[in-house]
Chain A
Amino acid sequence: GNSVTQMEGPVTLSEEAFLTINCTYTATGYPSLFWYVQYPGEGLQLLLKATKADDKGSNKGFEATYRKETTSFHLEKGSVQVSDSAVYFCALSRGNTGNQFYFGTGTSLTVIP
């Protein structure tokens, strides 16, 4: 079946530290991969995506590379800010299942000044 596993949190970092949030997936075929971010009390916002192997998604200083050989899509940022504090969700989509999405459990990030 299809599933997403992401590292458990919470993660606490100091401002300007390097961030990695691990995400691995299980899927048949060639899924699209996503990172969504959820700020407190809000819905999810699309942060970045990649639709095929070796693609790199990037946005707001965040990056993730679609690695088919390791079935991974790890989220990275070189220098986090307090405003990056949020919950991050990794997800995959299989278009031929009616665009159904499969989400990880989320990783909470707190950045302290």
Chain B
Amino acid sequence: DGGITQSPKYLFRKEGQNVTLSCEQNLNHDAMYWYRQDPGQGLRLIYYSQIVNDFQKGDIAEGYSVSREKKESFPLTVTSAQKNPTAFYLCAAGQVSGNTIYFGEGSWLTVV
């Protein structure tokens, strides 16, 4: 089954802990993205990457970090510096030269 796989679906974190959300794609797309969605609100771009070993900050990068060591993978780390991390996180992928992006199923992060 092809597509974008995010894991875990649900994650609980204690305050002060870092947590990493996984995103894997088998679509062979160059570009990958991380968005944050708060309840009842739209999407905000955290980070994006157009090529391996390179990534750019989005609108709300503070308190987050990413890596892009492989084309297929774009993990997001939510650090303890992120003040309000409880949210729904969406990973997406698309071709840099294309005009469509595709989303994973999302990961719910709750800080307890």
Residue of A with least CB distance to B91: A43
Contact residue among A43, A93, A100, A106 (Cβ-Cβ distance under 8 Å from B42): A106
Q: How far is the CB of B101 from chain A (nearest CB, A)?
A: 6
Instruction: Return the contact of A43 from the options B98, B100, B103 (Cβ within 8 A).
Output: B103
A104 touches B42 (CB 8 A): yes
B50 interface residue, CB < 8 Å from A? yes
Chain A residues whose C-beta falls within 8 Å of the C-beta of B56 in the assembled complex? 98
Residue contact A105 to B42, C-beta cutoff 8 Å: yes
Interface SS of chain A: strand
On chain A, which size bracket covers the interface?
A: 20 to 34
A42–B98 touching, CB < 8 Å: no
Interface residues of B in 4-52 (CB under 8 A from A): 4, 6, 31, 33, 40-43, 45, 48, 50
Q: Is B78 an interface residue (CB 8 A)?
A: no
Q: Which of A44-52, A61-69, A77-85 contacts B (4 or more CB under 8 A)?
A: A44-52
- Contacts A43-B103, A44-B103, A49-B100; A99 near B31 (Cβ below 8 A): yes
Tell me if A32 and B104 are in contact (CB < 8 A): no
Evaluate contact between B90 and A99: CB separation under 8 angstroms: no
How many chain B residues touch the partner (CB < 8 A)?
27
A45 to chain B: which residues have CB within 8 Å? 103
On B, residues with C-beta under 8 Å from A are: 4, 6, 31, 33, 40-43, 45, 48, 50, 56, 90, 92, 94-106
The 6 closest A-B pairs by CB, nearest first: A105-B42, A43-B103, A32-B99, A44-B103, A103-B43, A43-B105
26 contacts between A and B (CB under 8 A): A36-B103, A41-B106, A43-B104, A43-B105, A44-B43, A44-B90, A44-B92, A45-B103, A46-B100, A89-B42, A89-B43, A93-B100, A95-B98, A95-B99, A98-B31, A98-B50, A99-B31, A99-B50, A99-B94, A99-B99, A100-B48, A103-B42, A103-B43, A104-B42, A105-B42, A106-B42
Additional A-B contacts beyond A43-B4, A43-B6 (12; CB < 8 A): A32-B99, A43-B90, A46-B102, A49-B99, A89-B42, A93-B101, A98-B31, A99-B50, A99-B94, A99-B96, A99-B99, A106-B41
